[in-house]
Amino acid sequence: MPLLSGAYPISTHSHMAPTPGPPDDDGLLRQLRPSRIILPALIGLSVVGLLFWRSYVPGSLEPLRHAKWEWLLITLLVLLARDLGYVYRIRHVAGGTLSWSSALAVIVMWEFASCVLPSAAGGTAAAPAILNREGIPLGKALAYTIVTALLDNLYYVFMVPLVVALAGHALYPEALISALVQTLRAVFIFTYVLLTVYSALLLYALFINPTSVRRLLVRLTSARWLRRFRRLAYRQGQEMVRASAQLRGAGAGYWWRAVLSTVFVWTARYAVIGCLIAAFAPMSAGTFLFVFARNITYKVILLLAITPGGSGIAEGAFPTFFGQFMGTAAMTGFLVLLYRVVTYYLYLALGVAYLPRWVARVFGKPQVAGAENRAAATA
């Protein structure tokens, strides 16, 4: 889900990840080096192995023989549509300055960054530098990253009331003990309030008065116990001011297409688990919507993960939230593995395969220079 994005919603674009200053070339290459896949892959696969070791008995995977292959095909189509939606959105948000191949490269690298960086940051931490390396001036790259963050966050802000109305108290798994449910509910509410406030600040900064938001952020970090965040707050405020300047004049059509593409990609993202469950278990329309709603709560758990891409946490929490739909614990373990393969390990593999070609192409040309870049770098 992917908090504070790119993102929350978790992966490429993670909800509520503050937009950071972009790393330099060395920093970007350190963030994306292939060796970073080893730890998250080991953690995640170890948890899946533990789930199988604790639950497997002969015959417990019998439902695999009766899998509905059409639902597996639908899952792949949903994933493909989601990724194409991301490619379309970043190209549109960037005003068509990216070619389709460059937009695809941005999304592949952005997804890979989401997989190898902690969930709370997502790929947003590396996004401005990735866009900059594709020929977009740094100030505009920061602006486009903030736009995607805002759109992702607003999707969550408007979707949560709908899923709460749909699922009610059943949004939280019965398998959780009462005290843990209360804690999860409190985290869920706190996350939602924080995200709503942050989104409101972004809206005000981008469209009304960015300078006043910058002053507010600096004042809020003037207290002694927050003073170490003051430089970060000022930089975030400066980025909002620049983003506001870059986005002035964008018409209603620009924003409508950006909003609709965001709704499309996040709805597809949240539908994947329901599609996978439908391949192995009975699935009514109501159950599908319920799984979609519970996915919102599941993502809150991932936001708390400090591991890259939520590895280990995502696998360990999955049975609690979705195990009731699969019948046996072993089938749930298999579904965990399948889900992470198509939504996480696939992008690790794509990133590692694509990274050398991307580095050779974009680092073989000079970085986009100019006053805008220098101003952003010194903010």
**3-class DSSP string for 95-154:** CCCCCHHHHHHHHHHHHHHHHHCECCCHHHHCHHHHHHHCCCCHHHHHHHHHHHHHHHHH
Structure tokens at 334: 């298999």
- The per-residue pLDDT for 73 is 96
142-183: pLDDT as tens digits: 888 888 988 999 999 999 888 888 777 777 777 666 667 777
Length of the chain measured in residues:
379
- The per-residue pLDDT for 216 is 76
Residue 10 gets which letter from DSSP? S
- The per-residue pLDDT for 306 is 77
Would you list the DSSP string of 312-349? THHHHHHHHHHGGGTSSHHHHHHHHHHHHIIIIIHHHH
248-277: pLDDT as tens digits: 777 888 899 999 999 999 999 999 999 999
Structure tokens at 322: 């979705």
| Adjacent-strand bridge partners of 4 | 16
How far is residue 90 from each of residues 24, 96, 205, measured CA to CA in Å?
Answer: 22, 9, 21
What distance in Å separates the CA atoms of residue 91 and residue 85, rounded to the nearest whole number? 10
- The per-residue pLDDT for 3 is 31
- The per-residue pLDDT for 378 is 38
So where are the chain's domains? 25-378
Those residues of the chain that have pLDDT short of 50 are 1-13, 16-20, 369-379
Q: What is the pTM of this model?
A: 0.83
- The per-residue pLDDT for 256 is 93
- The per-residue pLDDT for 23 is 53
What distance in Å separates the CA atoms of residue 132 and residue 138, rounded to the nearest whole number? 5
